[in-house]
Amino acid sequence: MLPTASGSFGDKPVITFPDTPAPADLGVEPLVLGEGDVVEAGDEIEVNYLGQVWGGRVFDNSYDRGAPVRFPIGVGAVIQGWDEALVGASVGSRVLISIPPDLGYGPAGMPRAGIGGTDTLVFVVDVLGTHRR
């Protein structure tokens, strides 16, 4: 069972977790279906996102910074869970993603962000744009 997220596209979400263990596999749930261009592997995408450890604290979010981020997708520039979950999404979509450790930061985790090697990561991502490279 995946968490739920409040808010509309463009609004900072709040994630609510179920009283169940984190799923072992990648979970992708479109919360809003966009009608824009489809994200393809190799594109540079622009997103707003909130990232939270399963059942724990928010470790990063672009909403509070007031600036979206851009990065290549589907080419190994970000964690594997993002590459797998966001290729195929449409611009204007809001996507909830649950990423198991092996598709996130792996056994080493990301200590400086407070992410352990066994942590499942949950993101809400608003896809703002895609640019062919």
CA distance 45 to 91: 9
CA distance 96 to 32: 10
Residue-wise pLDDT for 78-118, tens only, equals 999 999 999 999 999 999 999 999 999 999 999 999 999 99
CA distance 118 to 53: 10
Q: 84: which DSSP letter?
A: H
Residue-wise pLDDT for 15-28, tens only, equals 999 999 999 999 99
Look at residue 132 in the predicted model and tell me its pLDDT: 85
Q: What is the pTM of this model?
A: 0.96
Contacts of 17 (CB under 8 A, 6+ apart): 3, 54, 55, 122
What architecture is the 4-131 domain classified under in CATH? Roll (3.10)
Domain spans in the chain, listed from the N-terminal domain onward = 4-131
